[in-house]
Amino acid sequence: MTVLAAVIALVGSLFFALGAALQQFEAAGTAKPGLLALLRRPRWLLGGVSILTGGGLHIVALGLGPLTIVQPMGVASLLFALPLAAAMHGRKPSRRELAAAAVVAMGLIGLVLLVPESEGPTHLAPDGVFTLLGVAGVAAVLLWAGSKAASPAGRAALLATSSGVLYGATATLMRVLVDGDWNWWYLLALPIPALLALMMLQRAYAVGHFGVSFASLQIADPLTAVAFGALLLGEPLPTGILPIGAALLTAVGTVALARTSPIEAH
């Protein structure tokens, strides 16, 4: 079952990477990458279906195998996404891009495996939900504002990080809904950060630096969820020197990706 879980997770990563590459291709070709404009593009919608399929396969894999096997396979989407996106834009990914992506992937795998598993059901009071959405919203706005004065690569990274923060808040709230004690209006709050995250991500994709955008998203999303889990849900944090080393790897790889050639709008 463990081998099957790994294979399913790997296939799920391929679907997720394909969906991200399709959506970036369409967002980069839109003057104003708003959701309404992108929703009229069949290829962008196909990318969304592919991402949902990848997410579904990842959930199936988690039901069949241990987290320590399944989660690293999910990180492989970064290594799949770069060649797919480059091929859509009619070029080959450089060795430098792939090497930087591999460094990011190794750092992310380390961070994922070092986070201790939480025990028991989760609970988040209504004031905690407001804190969650408020902190994530302020952080996302600050990152968006900072992106306006940044270089193209920095802009892509900041916008994608803003998206990752909002997705991390969404994941935290989803965890409460699935595993904890909650009020019905939590369901109404859930789409707010998710939709804002999707909008920010399309703006990041439109800049053209797909590698740094996708890497920044994959870093910010789980780290934000872990931080909110610790602050609001009382979940444990990793300790020691190893998490610091893993975080440094992801940072170094992301900076290296930011210095590679951007994927231009088609």
- CB neighbours of 200 closer than 8 A, spacing ≥ 6? 140, 144, 159, 160, 162, 163, 166
C-beta separation of 154 from 147 below 8 A: yes
- CB neighbours of 264 closer than 8 A, spacing ≥ 6? 28, 89, 208
Is residue 264 over pLDDT 60? Answer: no
> Which pLDDT belongs to residue 160?
94
The most confident of the ranges 44-48, 139-143, 203-207 is 139-143
> Which pLDDT belongs to residue 67?
60
Is residue 179 over pLDDT 80? Answer: no
pLDDT tens string 99-149: 888 888 888 888 777 777 766 667 788 888 999 999 999 999 999 999 999
pLDDT tens string 230-256: 888 887 777 788 888 888 888 888 888
> Which pLDDT belongs to residue 35?
77
> Which pLDDT belongs to residue 58?
83
Is residue 266 over pLDDT 60? Answer: no
pLDDT tens string 13-25: 899 889 999 998 8
Q: How many CA atoms lie within 13 A of 124 on its CB side?
A: 28
- CB neighbours of 4 closer than 8 A, spacing ≥ 6? 64, 65
User: CA separation (Å) from 140 to 73, 169, 209, 228?
Assistant: 28, 11, 19, 14
> Which pLDDT belongs to residue 225?
84
> Which pLDDT belongs to residue 121?
62
Is residue 31 over pLDDT 80? Answer: no
Is the pLDDT higher at 139 or at 5?
A: 139
Global pTM value: 0.83
> Which pLDDT belongs to residue 161?
95
> Which pLDDT belongs to residue 30?
67
C-beta separation of 144 from 162 below 8 A: yes
pLDDT tens string 61-70: 877 876 666 7
> Which pLDDT belongs to residue 114?
77
Is the pLDDT higher at 117 or at 222?
A: 222
The rounded percent of the chain whose pLDDT value lies above 90 is 25
Is the pLDDT higher at 91 or at 13?
A: 13
C-beta separation of 210 from 17 below 8 A: no
